[in-house]
A and B are shown apart, each in its own frame.
Chain A
Amino acid sequence: MRVFLILFSALLINNYVFIRFLGICPFLGVSKKLDTAVGMGFAATFVLVMSSVITWFVNKLLVVAGLEFLRTVSFILVIATFVQFVEFVIRKNSPSLYEALGIYLPLITTNCIILGVAILNAQAKYSLLEAIFHALGAGLGFLLALVIFAGIRERLELYELPKPFEGLPIALILASIISMAFMGFQGLIKL
């Protein structure tokens, strides 16, 4: 039961984009079209789950060796490896998605959600299963945020906006409004 609480906590109540404000850069950068948003969301979810499994074991190793201060640098090593791996796979299997994601795909490496989840897993001393569900929730939350946002931005293209609000300004205002809506989930689950 607890794993599902962790999953929904990361997915809705503590949504990493709208409540904790992590990973804003790819959130604003790749949310112009729905299909690239979905591709980015799944790529980030895959990296999240894989890297949190590996970082769980790496963290165990660090604790045994008494070298916890190496946490950040070794986690970044793991994350960078998996981002590179995802890049190979997407480049091979879907060149159009590779083109559309562009610079944001390697930027998953520096996405704060992924390092944040890995470090929170280590700090909260989650078991492996809990860590996986936490990462899955965070990834699906990121996907949800991207899909909601891309859907709205695609429709927004059709409207004529006042000149100063075109492009990023209206996107930032929108993000804050959706973020306020997500505040409504606050306090639903106590962990």
Chain B
Amino acid sequence: MLIAYSALLMAILGFAFGTFLAYSAKKFEVKEDPRVEMVKAALPGVNCGACGYAGCEAFAKAVVAGKVTPDMCTPGRASGVAEKIKEILKQNAPS
């Protein structure tokens, strides 16, 4: 019984706060360069910091801004992440 009650309570709390966050995420949405999202999707997403940035998102932003070369991602080197990023940047270059 105790376990059922605890699970129920946590589910209700989680649902309530999740709804609040989903609503506020829509309300405070920030328009971003769509290329950042695409580069982020191409990265391995391990947030290791080997590139010198705090996480994959920061690295993606820096690459799109042209501050670093795309081949700085160490974990993604074997699976050809650098080529994918170059492809993305070439295809979606601002005209």
CA distance A128 to B28 in the complex (A): 29
The residue from A70, A81, A91 contacting B17, defined by CB atoms under 8 A apart: A81
- Interface size for B (C-beta < 8 A) is 19
The residue from A62, A73, A88 contacting B28, defined by CB atoms under 8 A apart: A88
Contacts of B45 in A (CB 8 A): none
- Within 8 Å of chain B (Cβ to Cβ): is A38? no
CA distance A81 to B21 in the complex (A): 7
Q: Which of A51-106 contact B (CB under 8 A)?
A: 58, 61-62, 65, 67, 70, 73-74, 77-78, 81, 84-85, 88-89, 91-92, 95, 102-103
CA distance A61 to B13 in the complex (A): 11
**SS of A interface (majority):** helix
The residue from A67, A73, A78, A92 contacting B30, defined by CB atoms under 8 A apart: A92
Counted as pairs of residues, one from A and one from B, with CB atoms less than 8 Å apart, the total is: 45
Q: Which of B22-77 contact A (CB under 8 A)?
A: 24-25, 27-30, 54-55, 58
- Interface size for A (C-beta < 8 A) is 20
1/0 contact trace for A96-125 toward B, CB 8 Å?
000000110000000000000000000000
Contacts of B30 in A (CB 8 A): 91-92, 95
CA distance A65 to B5 in the complex (A): 8
Instruction: State how many angstroms separate the Cβ of A110 from the closest Cβ of chain B.
Output: 15
Instruction: State how many angstroms separate the Cβ of B32 from the closest Cβ of chain A.
Output: 10
The residue from B10, B20, B54 contacting A73, defined by CB atoms under 8 A apart: B10
Query: Can you name 20 A-B residue pairings with CB atoms under 8 Å?
Result: A58-B13, A62-B9, A65-B9, A67-B2, A67-B5, A67-B6, A67-B9, A70-B9, A74-B9, A74-B13, A77-B13, A81-B21, A84-B21, A85-B24, A88-B25, A88-B28, A91-B30, A95-B30, A102-B58, A103-B54
